[in-house]
Amino acid sequence: MVWWRRRRERDREDDYDWFGFGFRDFDIFDDLVERMFRDIDEIFRKSMSGEVKPIVRGFSIRIGPDGKPEIREFGTKEMASQGVEERKPLVDVMETDDEVQIIAEMPGVNKEDIDVSATEKSVEIKAEGENRKYYEVVDLPCEVIPDSAKARYNNGVLEVVFKKKYPRKVDKKKIKIE
């Protein structure tokens, strides 16, 4: 018997009553937690036996230019139709006055395994190494010139820089000093 089940039975034996709420009122929550632990045990058992491949999931949060948080997911996703495991790389997009820079973390692949293609509004990143496969389409914050792209890959990090199609021009204005 697992620890949470033993504790649950012990709590039922002892009739605690704090502020009019007994632990018996938490049976719904207890059942939910018990199912969650059972599911985790099952996933762990399957991964140890090799039935299930490891799962990689994560997210990054950053504040966008409009002041609102942007949440981006990355990690393993199962392609049911193809039966192929592929990962979404962790991607960050940065914008300056005249450039757009895309940084994608893709460890475990070689430079020759990476294929990057772009339009004025998006970038498609594909990589297929011996042990890893990555795929992501990144929507760009503004229009870029695809032919201006410069890319490099070093230590699992892909960096692609584009020139903006319509760069922001900063007009300097002479200020009179009084």
pLDDT in single tens digits along all 178 residues of the chain: 555 555 555 555 455 555 555 555 556 667 767 877 887 787 777 777 766 666 666 667 777 777 777 776 766 655 433 444 678 888 999 998 899 999 999 988 999 999 999 999 999 999 988 778 899 999 999 999 999 999 999 999 999 999 998 877 767 778 888 7
Sheet holding 157-164, edge to edge: 90-95, 99-105, 157-164, 144-154
CA-nearest of 96, 78, 79 to 141 is: 96
52 phi, psi to nearest 5 deg: -120, 135
Q: Residue 111: enclosing H or E segment and its boundaries?
A: none
| Chain centroid, CA 54 distance in Å | 16
Length of the chain: 178
pLDDT number for residue 102:
95
Can you give the pLDDT at residue 112? 93
- The reported pLDDT for the residue numbered 82 is 43
* Dist CA 1 CA 7 (whole Å): 10
Distance between CA atoms of 100 and 119, rounded to whole angstroms? Answer: 13
Q: Where are the alpha helices (DSSP H) in 14-163?
A: 27-49
Tell if the pTM clears 0.85, that is, is over it.
no
Distance CA 176, CA 165 (A): 34
The reported pLDDT for the residue numbered 57 is 64
- H/E stretch holding 115 reads strand 114-118
